[in-house]
Structure 1
Amino acid sequence: MEMKKIAVIVEEIGQNYQSAILNGISDGAAEFNFNIAAFSSLSGNIKNPRHELGELNIFDLPDFSRFDGAILLTNTLSSKHMAAELVERINKAGIPAVSIDKDLPSFYHIGIDNKTAMRCMTEHMINTHGYRNFAYISGPAYNSESSDRLAAFCTVLQEHGLNLAADAVYYGDFRSPSGKDAIEHFKEYLDEMPQAIICANDVMAASAITSLTGMGYMVPDDIAVTGFDNTYNRHNFQVELTSVERPLGLSGRLACKMLHNHFCGYPQERNIKLNMSVHFTESCGCRHNALSDIRELKEINCRNYANFENLQNYMTLLNRMSTQLEACNSFDDYISTMKKTAVEIHPEEFYFCLCDNWDSESPVYNPSASNNTEVTVPSTYTENVYVPIAYVNGEFAECSKIRSRDILPEAAFSGTKGRLYYVTPLHFGERCFGYMAVRSSKIKFQNIMFETLCINICNSLENLRKLMCLEYALKKMGDFYARDTFSGIYNRNGFVQATEELYKNCLEEKRNIMVMFIDLDGLKQINDTFGHATGDHAICEIADVLRNTCNRNEIYCRFGGDEFIVFGADYSESEAELLTKRINENIKKVNNSKKNPFELSASTGYFIDIPKQGEDIFYFVTEADKKMYNEKRQKKLSRRLRLSGQDIPKA
Structure 2
Amino acid sequence: MKKRKTIAVIAADVFNDYMNRIFVGISEQCKELGYDVLTFLMAFNLDSGNLIQQGEENIFTLVKKNIIDGVVLMAGNLASQNLIDKFVKVFSHWGIPVVALDHDFDFCDSIYADDTKLFEQMTDHFIEVHGCSRIMCLTGPEGSKPAETRLAGYKNSMEKHGLEIGEGDIIYGDFWKIVSQRLAKEFIEGKREMPEAVICANDTMARYLASALVKGGKNIPEDIRISGYDGSNDAILNIPSISTVLPENERMGARAVCILHKKISGMNVEPVETLAHGRLLFARSCGCGSATYHSVSTREEYHNRVVRYENYFKKSGMLESLMEEENLDGLLHKLNGFVYAINGLDTYMLCLNKNWDNIEGDEGDYVREGYAALMEARMVYTRKKTEFTSRSFRSNDILPHFIDEYCSEPSTYFLLPVHFMDRCFGYSVFRFSDIRCAASNVFAMWNRNISVALEFLRVRTKLLSINQRIFMSSIRDTLTGIYNRHGFNRMAEGIFRKACQEKKQLFIIIADLDRLKMINDNYGHIEGDTAITAVANALNTSCELNEVCARTGGDEFAIIGCGNYSPDKIQEHYRYIYDYLTRYNASAKKGYTVGVSLGCFCEVPDENEPLDKYIKIADTRMYENKVKRKKLRED
What TM-score bracket applies, with the shorter chain setting the length? 0.7 to 0.9
Say if 2:618 is the partner of 1:620.
no
Q: Give how far 1:300 is off.
A: 4.4
C-alpha separation in 2, matches of 1:155 and 1:593: 103
Distance 1:13 1:277, change over 3 A: closer
Match of residue 409, structure 1, among 387, 400, 425 = 400
Distance 1:401 1:601, change over 3 A: farther
Say if 2:21 is the partner of 1:20.
yes
1:69-106, Cα deviation, whole Å (9 max, x unpaired)? 22211112111111221233333444322222212222
**Any residues of structure 2 matched to 1:170-569 within 5 Å, and which?**
171=174, 178-179=176-177, 181-184=178-181, 192=191, 195=195, 199-210=200-211, 212-214=213-215, 216-222=217-223, 224-232=225-233, 235-239=236-240, 241-266=242-267, 279=280, 281-282=282-283, 285=286, 287-288=287-288, 297-298=292-293, 300-309=295-304, 311-312=307-308, 315-316=311-312, 319-320=315-316, 322=318, 324-342=321-339, 345=342, 347-360=345-358, 365=364, 381-392=371-382, 394-397=384-387, 398-413=389-404, 417-442=409-434, 444-508=437-501, 510-521=503-514, 539-540=532-533, 542-569=535-562
The answer to whether the 8 A contact 1:125-1:284 is kept is no
| Contiguous gaps of at least 5 residues in structure 1 | 173-177, 270-274, 366-374, 642-647
Q: Give how far 1:28 is off.
A: 1.7
Distance 1:234 1:618, change over 3 A: closer
Instruction: Name whichever of 203-212 and 88-97 sits farther off.
Output: 203-212
Q: Give how far 1:231 is off.
A: 4.4
Instruction: Name whichever of 437-446 and 389-398 sits farther off.
Output: 389-398
The answer to whether the 8 A contact 1:54-1:431 is kept is yes
Specify the alignment match of 2:161 in structure 1.
none
Instruction: Name whichever of 536-545 and 99-108 sits farther off.
Output: 536-545
Distance 1:121 1:598, change over 3 A: farther
C-alpha separation in 2, matches of 1:572 and 1:542: 24
Q: Give how far 1:413 is off.
A: 4.3
SS, match of residue 229 in structure 2: coil
C-alpha separation in 1, matches of 2:574 and 2:35: 73
The answer to whether the 8 A contact 2:102-2:146 is kept is no
C-alpha separation in 2, matches of 1:448 and 1:298: 27
Instruction: Name whichever of 98-107 and 208-217 sits farther off.
Output: 208-217
Q: So what's the TM-score if we normalise by structure 1? A: 0.78
Specify the alignment match of 1:162 in structure 2.
167
C-alpha separation in 2, matches of 1:463 and 1:204: 41
Say if 2:85 is the partner of 1:84.
yes
Distance 1:631 1:224, change over 3 A: farther
1:142-198, Cα deviation, whole Å (9 max, x unpaired)? x953674699699999x9451489xx75546xxxxx43x555555679964765666
1:498 partner amino acid: M
Instruction: Name whichever of 598-607 and 429-438 sits farther off.
Output: 598-607
Match of residue 567, structure 2, among 568, 573, 594 = 573
Distance 1:203 1:491, change over 3 A: farther
Paired-residue identity, %: 25
| Contiguous gaps of at least 5 residues in structure 2 | 159-163, 271-275
Q: Give how far 1:358 is off.
A: 3.8
C-alpha separation in 1, matches of 2:214 and 2:480: 75
1:406 partner amino acid: D
Instruction: Name whichever of 490-499 and 191-200 sits farther off.
Output: 191-200
Specify the alignment match of 1:71 in structure 2.
72
Specify the alignment match of 1:369 in structure 2.
none
Specify the alignment match of 2:596 in structure 1.
603
Specify the alignment match of 1:145 in structure 2.
145
Q: Give how far 1:47 is off.
A: 10
Specify the alignment match of 1:645 in structure 2.
none
Distance 1:439 1:630, change over 3 A: same
SS, match of residue 607 in structure 1: strand
2:303 partner amino acid: F
C-alpha separation in 1, matches of 2:415 and 2:527: 57
Q: Give how far 1:40 is off.
A: 1.3
The answer to whether the 8 A contact 1:514-1:606 is kept is no
C-alpha separation in 1, matches of 2:60 and 2:372: 14
1:510-550, Cα deviation, whole Å (9 max, x unpaired)? 53222112334565566678876676566555544444331
The answer to whether the 8 A contact 2:376-2:393 is kept is yes
C-alpha separation in 2, matches of 1:46 and 1:89: 19
Number of positions where the alignment pairs a residue of Structure 1 with one of Structure 2: 610
1:409 partner amino acid: P
Distance 1:26 1:613, change over 3 A: closer
Distance 1:422 1:245, change over 3 A: same
SS, match of residue 264 in structure 2: helix
1:320 partner amino acid: S
Instruction: Name whichever of 243-252 and 418-427 sits farther off.
Output: 243-252
C-alpha separation in 2, matches of 1:600 and 1:585: 13
